[in-house]
Structure 1
Amino acid sequence: MKSLALFLSVWLGLAGLIGCSSTANYQASNLPQQLAAPKTVNAKKIDMTALAGTVQPADRLTPGDAVILTVATGIEQEKPPEWTLRVAEDGSLNVPLVGPVAVAGMRLTDAEKLLAFESVRRGVYVSPNVTLRIEQRRAHHVTVLGAVNKPQTYELPAGGSDLMTAISMAEGFSENANTIAQIRHPPGTGVRLAAMAQTQQVAYPNAPVPPPVPDQFELDLLRLDEVPENHRQLVDGSVVMIYEKPERYINVTGLVRQSDMIEMPKDGDMRLMDAISQAGGLSESLADKVKIIRKRPDDSEVVIEASIRDAMKGGPANLRLAPNDLVSVEETPLTYTLGTIKTFIRFGFSSAVPGI
């Protein structure tokens, strides 16, 4: 018994030195917010109304609209002539005898005034009465792909072509949807939209000037307050790609029954005790010390220390994990000594019993 007591005292001293060799940078129970793992968000909970673009007036002209133009001069013997015209892709309306006039983005009454003014300025008419009416609205063909329930190409009204309408037509987000979307417009769309914005600014000087729209960009559907409204608008030929959630893993090692890469749930968070449970639980029931090594966005690492006893009580100690966290259930003086005793007893008992 004396030899066993001496043996244990030596191991306790060595294990104490091992346990004091390093200190965690942070504690799980009071982790700074900037180091906390982000919550997993289900795309189905996104407020769809936030995806809507600016509501366009029903009488605002857009490229591709077919209109009926009537010009009355007051000297006609018969019914004033009328023409069926289409607003060109560059936003102009090619008026017979007058020529092209930029009208896209304007309301009908304002476009009528502009057409009358230009016909006089260009010396075609003296005092015309110009009227416009919309014959046919252009439909936008928008393709929705990726993590939606019904990916395909949809026909949307030109005045209501926005993210909300497109995703609603595709019957919403699928279970595997991420909150990141990519929007691709036909080449040159940004230039055309900028020209339309310039025309609208001339017609409506007090209207805010929208920022340029790139032909291709990504946006976070949870941070739309940082996205200009005109970036939610779609045009003919736009493609909306809703990304799928990437596979995310936690590496669990140390005093667990099965060190492994644990896949995180796609639609929820994973906590510290969840990860340990999926690794088969503790291989040593008295294990309590855990270190979580977490990468920051700049690829630097921080070490977070947690207690299993505290984590089992819930609360902040049962830390929400981030993708690529390394969870290590550490040796402590107690677990080190207990493991040594088990080894000592096993080998001592085996040597005392023949055949074992």
Structure 2
Amino acid sequence: MNAAAFGFGINMILLFLKLGKGLYMQTLFYAMFLSLTAFSLPAAAMDYRLGSGDIVHVTVYDHPELLLDTRVDEQGKIDFPLIGAVMVAGQSASSAQRLIAEALERGGFIKKPQVNLIVKEYRSKQVSVLGQVNKPGKYPLDTTSTVSDLLAQAGGVTLEGADELTLIRNQDGKLQRTKIDTKSLFQDGQVDLNYQVIGGDVIFVPRASVFYIYGEVRKPGAFRLEKNMNVMKALSLGGGITPRGTQRGIQIRRKGADGKPVIVNAALIDPVREDDVVYVKESLF
């Protein structure tokens, strides 16, 4: 519902209030207010299914003594005045308020009760976004959400973040880890990688792999390891070889299979691996 239509509805309500009072006008006002509220609510709030831990605010029109702010318990219930426990887990807000209204009327407490239930805090379904994101933490799911939705809520990946993240999910008591290439997702548009997330999922963005280059290069230091990185690309990131260096004197120092350091005489097309140290020797001539 746009702002103009909402404003028009409010003006009509005020006009009706000026024209008359009494039970009929009060009922009409309340009905119109509920309609406007329903149309102005985001679709996410209308679709959300309640669960244990959610905080809800419940009111019954013209019965302020029944106002309730409470938490959905571990069994998925809320304890409502007069009627006792009401199972709301798995229900939308509109379905839950209908259950309360039916129980109030069935018990003979209120005739045609008008119940309104609002979710104040979404706590039953949360996803943790951890690692190299700008705002790590737990985020509630108030609607159908995807990996990209959660990354956006977490402020995006930091400059130090890797191009591949891990989606961790507890499936039937077993942890499943799914690797997602974010470059393929966002740059190449592979939407099949944009998995839907569920409550309890963890999205972890590790720090990007790096390699090191020093010796006779113009900009020695640590650099982000890109896909298909080779010695030639590594040298370009290092600003190229200085006049004192030599292309024939390039070595790569890395850990061997046994964990001990090894030295490899490298050609320009040789691959560079994580934590490699590329060293450019000084020319002897």
User: Normalization by structure 1: what TM-score?
Assistant: 0.38
Structure with the greater alpha carbon radius of gyration: 1
Structure with greater proportional strand content: 2
Report 1 or 2 for greater relative contact order, CA contacts < 8 Å, sequence distance ≥ 6: 1
